[in-house]
Amino acid sequence: MTAPATHGAATSAARRLPLPGFVDGTLLTLVIAAVILWFAPSGMGRYGTYVLSLWLVMSVAVMGLNLTLGYAGLKSLAQAAFMGIGAYATALLTSKVGLNWYASFAISGLITFAVGLVLGFPALRVKAHYLAFVTLAFSTLIWLVLRNEQWLTGGVFGLSNIPRPSFFGLKLDGALAFHRFVVVVTFLLAVVLWWMIRSPWGRAFTALRENPIRAASLGIDTRMYTLLAFAIGSAYAGFAGALYAPLVEFIDPSPFSLSQSFFLLLMVVAGGAGYLLGPFIGALLGVVLPEWLRFAGSLYLIIFAAIVMLLLIACPQGMSGLLERGWAKLTGKKEGAR
């Protein structure tokens, strides 16, 4: 692959990478957040720790969709399906085959990368919302397989007794121990994405979103980078599934339905598509906010929907865009200044 010499299309899009105050400090921000999350569960109880871990797992899935949509501009409605593939692959490999979690994690990522690569071929032929229809059909197919192929997936009864990983012989059975493990894995995956976005690959993905014709004129292999963006985003969903399975220790098809793919898409948009920190903010809104609103009883979903709608109306670029504008006003810099 030829390293892209992007300037025109990629420069205009570069302003949408991280928030201005974190342009050179995004890695430091991730380190600080990881340290805070390492100690955050203290005094929160088992369920509070579970919610924090679930937020991080969903952040990994949203990171992949953010790469696909936010940077490469590809509309996918199959992220939950890829997450389901990763979760079931990990569950089967660890509980039935007897592989350790680390090997299962790598295999889950490879499987979803390969499936994403194959499914991504329609992205080279169809445009805009037509790709969304292709991924919608794929998502429905995967959900039907998970639900009906009882001999493999357990059907509606699911798979139980999914073991948690060990670390140097220490079994991570406790909620706090496994949460800290999730923190480390999420941090490493975020660092890989941070590096990727700043590499020639990341500039190529951004140029594809901004102007594919100009990107091709700059020598970017648009076909190859389109496939890579889709496949890598799918692999991140597989990694999220590999973390989700031991987190809940029981999986069934319901968390991997088409509605969950729409919910993950909502997290990308609400957090800020095309921002490195957007997935964490979007997943925070999608996972933690509903828990905070449970004091409202049966009305909590209505309140949550109203908050999200008002947010999208007031901040079409998501929370990251709102924070970017606030930082620009505070520092006197132009939005997106590096």
Residue ranges per structural domain of the chain:
8-257
**Residue-wise pLDDT tens digits, 179-191:** 999 999 999 999 9
**Residue 160 reports pLDDT greater than 50:** yes
CATH number of 8-257: 1.10.3470
Helix/strand/coil (H/E/C) assignment for every residue in the chain = CCCCCCCHHHHHHHCCCCCHHHCCCHHHHHHHHHHHHHHCCCCCHHHHHHHHHHHHHHHHHHHHHHHHHHHCCCCCCCHHHHHHHHHHHHHHHHHHHCCCHHHHHHHHHHHHHHHHHHHCHHHHCCCCHHHHHHHHHHHHHHHHHHHHCHHHHCHHHCEECCCCCEECCEECCCHHHHHHHHHHHHHHHHHHHHHHHCCHHHHHHHHHHHCHHHHHHCCCCHHHHHHHHHHHHHHHHHHHHHHHHHHHCEECCHHHCHHHHHHHHHHHHHHCCCCCCHHHHHHHHHHHHHHHHHHHHHHHHHHHHHHHHHHHHHCCCHHHHHHHHHHHHHHCCCCCCC
On the question of pLDDT at 153 being above 90, the answer is yes
Can you tell me the mean pLDDT for 165-172? 87
For residue range 276-319, list pLDDT tens digits in order.
889 999 999 999 998 888 887 788 888 988 988 888 888 888 88
Tell me the average pLDDT across 68-92.
93
Q: pLDDT for 101-126, tens place per residue?
A: 999 999 999 999 999 999 988 766 76
